[in-house]
Amino acid sequence: MTSTFANLSAVTVAKNDTTKALAEARFIREINIIAGYSYAIIGLSGCVGSVLCLVAIFTLRSRSHHNTLSSIQPIFVSLCISSLIFSIVCAFQAFSTLASRPNFLAEPRYDAACQVLSFAYMAILAVDQLQHAALAFHRFFSIVVGQRVAWFHTRACTATLVALPWVIAGAVCSLPFVHVGYQYGYNITLDRCFLVSVYYWPYITFYKTFFISCSLISIAVCYTAIAVKVGVAHRRAMGGAVEPSTHSVPAVVVVIRPSHPQSRPVKDRAVATRGGGVTKTVFALCLLFLVSFLPWMIYPMVAHTDVALTSPSGITVVTLFLLGCAASPWLIVLLTPALRGHIAESFCRIAKAVDSQNKTVISVTVPETGKAYFTSPNYPQNYPKGTLVEYNVLTSKGNLFYVGLLFDVVDFELDSGSFYGQVFCEDDFVNITEVVTAKGRSSSTKDDDTPKNRKLCGPQTSPLRIATKSNSAIVRFQTGFAGPSFKGFNMSVEALIRPNNTVKVPASGKVFITSDNYPVADYFPNQGSVYYVKGPEGTQIEFDTIDFKVDGLGGFGELRDYVHLSEGSGNKSIAARVLLGGRSYYGTEGPKKLRSTKSEVILYFKSGLINTKPCGFNISAEVVH
């Protein structure tokens, strides 16, 4: 009897163990399926982002006059290539995880291929971490070191920053092929190519701590030095601030607007502006690294086993890591203005080719004097839904002094649509796009500039004025097929005229120098305007601020928009001239009672790629004896 009860107890225990094992197997399988879908979705996103980023970089280079990449772009290319390789590996991981066993990667004859996939998985992880360190060093060399060490600005230095992550990661991750540290192969628990067994656990700890320590230390040191450098530069720039003038405008006013001569913008300021934008992109990549890579590296170290990654919290950590690998190329594309504009322009060309068969085209000719008006279909009655109309706005021929167009909203009421449609203007909208041709482009416009767009939707109140820097524009009116319709819009357009850029100051009285479009609209972004101010021989000129609102310092201390007043001999470049007052003018701090020592002064106004708080300026000039 006792033996019978013992046998029954043993059978019960065995059944319980079997039930528990089956439950654990089902749980692990469910977790693996979630991981497989994560691999598939994020891997596909990373592949698309990497290809998009690479195509944007190389096609943008081929369209410009410069056939070489800028110093930061090879590192961006390397980061995109590593993300692309990782995304391809993710496709195989997704297949094996979702298919489970049997699949071809689990077969012994494909063990070599599975080991290569495991190696690529681990190596790219290390490469990505070291590439973030390389980006930090590149910004450190460009901003902190500057021109003091010439080698840091050579192609050899850039090539070194690109190659080192691949060489170091490849060397370390190749050791398991000679049975050092751990073994690559098909992991039957995770249902994918990964680590099969660990020979020496401290090697795993070294692998994780070495790469993450190199990255974190490099990022901390480089960005701390950059922050100190930018802070010092910001304090120096603010040191010479002056109070804006409150003088009234005399009765007789001569308004002078600039032309855009063939001279290049001040080189060091332009480089600083572009450098600030690149630094912001790198800083965003750094934040992505901290959010996505750190948990993946720290979690297995705390858990002392990579099998812990099959838990719900472990799957969350893995998903964050995969998201970080896939998101890096997207950040590069979205945060780099030239690449973002190039991609947007390409998609616009594709969209125009698709809908060209269904749209109505209307020509609007702007007269030499006065305004031209154009309205939505049926205005002031409600416009029909499913409408696509393009208004080709052109200036009349024969006037070589047109500098742009000025649109004025007379009446505007469109369907606001959903919340998403209100925020992004995706339902019914009017889109104003500049048409910039090689012949009509201003001299200060770079080859990689893209046409500027302004989108309007919902109700808009007048006055609302929009200026363009080209002589022609396309106004696109598009409505959805659902939702209510309203009366539409009535808009006017007139030509902006470019007068002579030489400002002659009379012996008595004042002249007033203004920025483009002042005071009817904001000045143009990405412009370099030169005013040659000349008084009678042997006199001095005094400059005073009437109105001054110019977007100043960016987030990294770089000058975006500014005004220079300088003297110097005629054969000197603008950059080589001595600044009156010893400083640049920006923000609301214009020149106040600033007197020259000569009768000829150059006023140079530079606006950056993005104007966050633009307006313009009005500066008076008069002769003093």
- Tens of pLDDT, residue by residue over 446-461, are 333 344 678 888 888 7
353 band by pLDDT with thresholds 50, 70 and 90: low
Strands 578-579 and 562-567: antiparallel
Give φ, ψ of 147 to 5 degrees: -95, 10
Name the fold adopted by 357-497. Jelly Rolls (2.60.120)
Lowest mean pLDDT among 51-65, 68-82, 106-120, 274-288: 274-288
Average pLDDT over residues 260-289: 56
* Edge-to-edge strand ranges of the sheet holding 453-457: 360-366, 388-395, 472-478, 429-434, 453-457
H helical segments located in 428-583: none
Res 502 pLDDT > 70: yes
Average pLDDT over residues 474-478: 88
344 band by pLDDT with thresholds 50, 70 and 90: confident
Question: Which ranges in the chain are annotated with CATH 2.60.120.290?
Answer: 357-497, 502-624
Are 113 and 95 contacting, i.e. CB atoms less than 8 angstroms apart?
A: no
Q: What's the CA gap between 321 and 291, in Å, rounded?
A: 9
Res 250 pLDDT > 70: no
Are 75 and 138 contacting, i.e. CB atoms less than 8 angstroms apart?
A: yes
Average pLDDT over residues 359-363: 84
User: Does residue 65 sit in helix, strand or coil?
Assistant: coil
- Apex 302 CA angle, 299 and 306, nearest 5: 60
Res 38 pLDDT > 60: yes
Domain 502-624 has CATH 2.60.120.290: yes
The DSSP element (H or E) to which 171 belongs, if any, is: helix 155-173
Looking at the chain, the whole-number percentage of residues with pLDDT higher than 90 is 5
Which of 519, 544, 536, 526 minimizes the C-alpha distance to 603? Answer: 544
Q: Is 65 exposed, middle or buried (0-12, 13-18, 19+ CB in 10 A)?
A: exposed
Give φ, ψ of 119 to 5 degrees: -60, -45
The predicted structure's pLDDT at residue 557: 59
245 band by pLDDT with thresholds 50, 70 and 90: very low
The DSSP element (H or E) to which 478 belongs, if any, is: strand 472-478
259 band by pLDDT with thresholds 50, 70 and 90: very low
Q: What's the CA gap between 361 and 382, in Å, rounded?
A: 20
Q: What's the CA gap between 250 and 533, in Å, rounded?
A: 19
Encoded amino acid at 474, one letter = I
What would the pLDDT profile of 572-595 be if each residue is shown by its tens digit?
555 556 788 888 888 888 899 898
CATH code assigned to 2-240+278-343: 1.20.1070.10
Phi-psi region of 606 (alpha: psi -120 to 50; beta: other; left: phi over 0): beta
How would you write 602-623 as a 3-class SS string?
A: EEEEEECCCCCCCCEEEEEEEE
Q: What's the CA gap between 507 and 510, in Å, rounded?
A: 9
Res 25 pLDDT > 60: yes
Which of 618, 615, 607 minimizes the C-alpha distance to 545? Answer: 618
Phi-psi region of 437 (alpha: psi -120 to 50; beta: other; left: phi over 0): beta
Cα-to-chain-centroid distance, residue 535: 44
Looking at the chain, the whole-number percentage of residues with pLDDT higher than 70 is 71
41 band by pLDDT with thresholds 50, 70 and 90: confident
Encoded amino acid at 436, one letter = V
Q: Looking at the whole model, is its pTM more than 0.95?
A: no
The predicted structure's pLDDT at residue 336: 77
Res 501 pLDDT > 90: no
Helix/strand number for the chain, H first, E second: 9, 22
Are 534 and 506 contacting, i.e. CB atoms less than 8 angstroms apart?
A: no
Strands 600-607 and 562-567: antiparallel
The label of the residue with tokens 């005004």 reads: 563
Q: Is 67 exposed, middle or buried (0-12, 13-18, 19+ CB in 10 A)?
A: exposed
Average pLDDT, the chain: 75
Question: Which ranges in the chain are annotated with CATH 1.20.1070.10?
Answer: 2-240+278-343
CA gyration radius, the chain = 32
The predicted structure's pLDDT at residue 268: 41
Res 570 pLDDT > 70: no
Q: What's the CA gap between 72 and 74, in Å, rounded?
A: 6
The predicted structure's pLDDT at residue 91: 85
Average pLDDT over residues 200-209: 78
Are 555 and 269 contacting, i.e. CB atoms less than 8 angstroms apart?
A: no
Which of the pair, 53 or 321, is modelled with greater confidence? 53
The DSSP element (H or E) to which 279 belongs, if any, is: helix 267-303
Are 197 and 183 contacting, i.e. CB atoms less than 8 angstroms apart?
A: yes
Average pLDDT over residues 49-68: 71
Q: What's the CA gap between 272 and 556, in Å, rounded?
A: 10
Lowest mean pLDDT among 207-211, 484-488, 522-526: 522-526
The predicted structure's pLDDT at residue 101: 64
Encoded amino acid at 66, one letter = H
Lowest mean pLDDT among 123-127, 139-143, 328-332, 447-451: 447-451
The DSSP element (H or E) to which 187 belongs, if any, is: strand 182-187
The predicted structure's pLDDT at residue 302: 62
Res 267 pLDDT > 70: no
What would the pLDDT profile of 59-100 be if each residue is shown by its tens digit?
776 555 444 456 788 888 898 898 899 888 888 888 887 877
Are 479 and 592 contacting, i.e. CB atoms less than 8 angstroms apart?
A: no
The predicted structure's pLDDT at residue 582: 82
What would the pLDDT profile of 162-200 be if each residue is shown by its tens digit?
999 999 999 999 988 888 888 898 888 777 788 888 888
Res 294 pLDDT > 90: no
Lookup: tokens for 467: 């200026």
